Amino acid sequence: MGYFRPYRRKAYYYETDRMDIVHHSNYVRWLEEARIDLMEQAGCPFSVTEKMGIVSPVLKVETEYRYPVRFGDEFEVRSRLISFNGCKFSLEYEIVDLTTGQISCLAKSSHCFTDTELRPIRLKKRFPELYENLMKAAENG
């Protein structure tokens, strides 16, 4: 799935529910963690973009749960930038158990770039370097 290094981590106890599996809401948190990591790898780290007055709100998240992750399981989130038009972008994700190789979750998310007042920003015009970084990432994704 693309050329980005997968985001890896372990499932923590506090993320589990009464059924001894990770609660479904935590998968969305992991997608967010992986998105932040991907954006850093793509040359658009949030630590920089937010100082520039750019935020990227979530527009949509879709998840398909396939196999449960349990406390202590090691997994990776494989992320891919599938579209970018200068203002909006979308990613696909696979959450994969590192021991079994099973896919635990497939997901997609959509986002946009806005200023801090939530007005859309066209990166090509206002931040051409960030635009170029993301265009390259989308082409290689």
Residue 2 lies in a domain: no
Tell me the H-state helices in 42-127.
46-49, 123-126
Number of domains in the chain: 1
Residue % of the chain over a pLDDT of 90: 91
Residue 1 lies in a domain: no
Structural domain for 51, as ranges: 7-140
What is residue 141's predicted lDDT score, i.e. its pLDDT? 64
Per-residue DSSP letter, 19? T
What CA–CA distance (Å, rounded) separates 19 from 15? Answer: 11
Residue 38 lies in a domain: yes
Residue 67 lies in a domain: yes
Reply yes or no on whether the pLDDT at 1 is more than 70.
no
Residue 134 lies in a domain: yes
What is residue 140's predicted lDDT score, i.e. its pLDDT? 76
- Check which CATH number belongs to the domain holding 103 and give it: 3.10.129.10
Residue 131 lies in a domain: yes
Residue 102 lies in a domain: yes
> Of residues 17, 37, 97, 115, which has the active-site annotation?
17
115 carries an active-site annotation = no
For 70-103, the pLDDT digits (tens) are: 999 999 999 999 999 999 999 999 999 999 999 9
Distances (CA, A) of 85 to 20, 46, 90: 41, 19, 10
